[in-house]
Structure 1
Amino acid sequence: MANYKRILVALDLSDESSQVLDKAGEMAKVFGAELSLTHVIEPLTFAYGGDIPMDLSEVQEQLQTQAKEQLGKAGAKFGVPEDRQRVVLGQPAGEIHRLAEELNSDLVVIGSHGRHGLALLLGSTANGVLHGAGCDVLAVRVHSD
């Protein structure tokens, strides 16, 4: 079994994120590994393709501020210092790959909702991370409470 030293935890900050963080925290304890946390926000211009003739920068800033606060609370639970918590803007799978490489992570932990049918065909962030990662990926099956 691999001996992980640097674990990157990618959180979507949903209610189920605590399940992902708990699993990553358990692994970090077992391996004596360092945890880093990230949340990726897709730019609103990606979602709306520029179809809305308005400035979304203020809304985008609010989303980033809220995400940093939530990530800070998650990090406090496992003693992850602020300098190892990152909220980034971009395409989730690509940003997680970039950050894992930048941090020299040997494991990425991400949640998986286990979608089926059309959602499965369209792909998911977990699937995108799994198929492009340069390190091991653990997809934690999350369940709605």
Structure 2
Amino acid sequence: MYGTILFATDDSDDAEAALDHALELAASTGATLHVVSVVETRTAYDNAIIDPEEVQANLRADAEAAVEHAAEAATEAGIECRTTVVEGPPYECVLEVIDEVGADVVVVGATGRSGFKRLVLGSTAEQLLETAPVPVVVIGGDR
């Protein structure tokens, strides 16, 4: 059914629930799990207070920790896993990675770590549902 599963993570609570689902899906289908985390490049901050380079470095460290966490969970479950950290607008980057890895399905959390949350789905999940060329499984979120 699925040979390649793409799991997009920001290490949020919903992403953790989505990781569990992605691992179960990969284990049941024998698929390879590709994990991507995106360093958001459109982050708002006040330059007089926060160094933009420090912000980007912190965001990159968070993204790398998120993919490492998922990779460790995959290894423990005996699932082949590859990881990627990219920079840019999250949904656009995830769409690019779908093509790059040949993903058959995307698993994503309903809402992310950003302070702004949509009524039901985060904007990245919503945009993926509308534009992804493969099925998108959205896990979590307040209902």
Question: CA 1:141–1:56 in 2, change beyond 3 Å: closer, same or farther?
Answer: same
Is 1:58–2:57 an aligned residue pair?
no
- Of 8, 15, 18, the residue aligned with 1:17 is 15
Give the AA of the match of 2:25. M
Is 1:140–2:139 an aligned residue pair?
yes
Q: Structure 1: any 5+ residue segments left out of the alignment?
A: none
Give the AA of the match of 1:40. V
- CA RMSD between the two structures: 2.5
Deviation at 1:55, TM superposition (A): 4.4
Is 1:30–2:57 an aligned residue pair?
no
SS at match of 1:105: coil
Q: Percent identity?
A: 33
Q: Structure 2: any 5+ residue segments left out of the alignment?
A: 112-116
C-alpha distance after superposition, 1:40-81 (max 9, x if no partner)? 1211xx2338x6357411321122123212321221111266
- Cα distance in 1 for partners of 2:120, 2:47 equals 28
Is 1:41–2:36 an aligned residue pair?
no
Is 1:74–2:70 an aligned residue pair?
yes
Q: So what's the TM-score if we normalise by structure 1?
A: 0.79
Larger Rg: 1
> Is the CA contact (8 Å cut-off) linking 2:120 and 2:141 kept in structure 1?
no
